[in-house]
Structure formats: structure tokens, C-alpha cells
């Protein structure tokens, strides 16, 4: 549960676009909340393709790496 807090931005959806936005905002010292149901639309996709540096990687692994990077920012 999130403590009573004021957020600069609330992002709905924690997949690639939401996490990318959250990282940019976090780097800009904004208070960000990500709301995500944990069921990405690409969860049935076995491998990512045409995504530079991530070709052939499982989407869930890409998302895991992205979350780890975003969480580096308070």
C-alpha cells in the first residue's frame, strides 16, 4: 500500500512505455507512482524481435530489467 503522498505524475501501465516515462521523470526528481496490473499485453509472446539490443529476449525479462533500472531512482 502507498502511504498518503502527493505525486507529480501517476502512470497507468508498467510496461515499456510506462517504465520509460517513469525513469525519465525519476531522473528529473519527480514523485511518480506506477499503477500496473502485472498482466502485460505481450505476455503470450515468447520472444521480442526488432527491439535493438533485446532481439530474441523474452518480454518478461526485458520488463524485469526495466523495473530494476527504474527502481534505482527514489
Domain count within the chain: 1
Domain contains 4: no
- Judged against a pLDDT cut of 90, whether residue 70 lies above it is answered with yes
Return the closest-CA partner of residue 2 out of 35, 38, 37: 35
Domain contains 1: no
Domain contains 58: yes
Domain contains 37: yes
pLDDT band for position 11 (cuts 50, 70, 90): very high
pLDDT of residue 38: 87
* Biggest CA pair distance of the chain: 41
- For residue range 28-66, what is the model confidence (pLDDT) as tens digits? 999 999 999 988 888 888 888 888 888 999 999 999 999
Domain that holds residue 48: 9-70
CA dihedral 38→39→45→51, nearest 10 degrees, is -50
Amino acid at each position: 500500500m502507498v502511504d498518503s503522498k502527493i505525486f507529480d505524475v501517476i502512470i497507468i501501465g508498467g510496461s515499456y512505455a510506462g517504465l520509460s516515462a517513469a525513469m525519465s521523470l525519476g531522473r528529473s526528481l519527480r514523485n511518480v507512482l506506477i499503477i500496473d496490473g502485472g498482466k502485460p499485453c505481450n505476455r503470450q509472446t515468447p520472444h521480442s524481435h526488432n527491439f535493438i539490443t533485446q532481439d530474441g529476449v523474452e518480454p518478461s525479462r526485458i520488463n524485469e530489467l526495466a523495473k530494476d533500472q527504474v527502481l534505482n531512482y527514489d
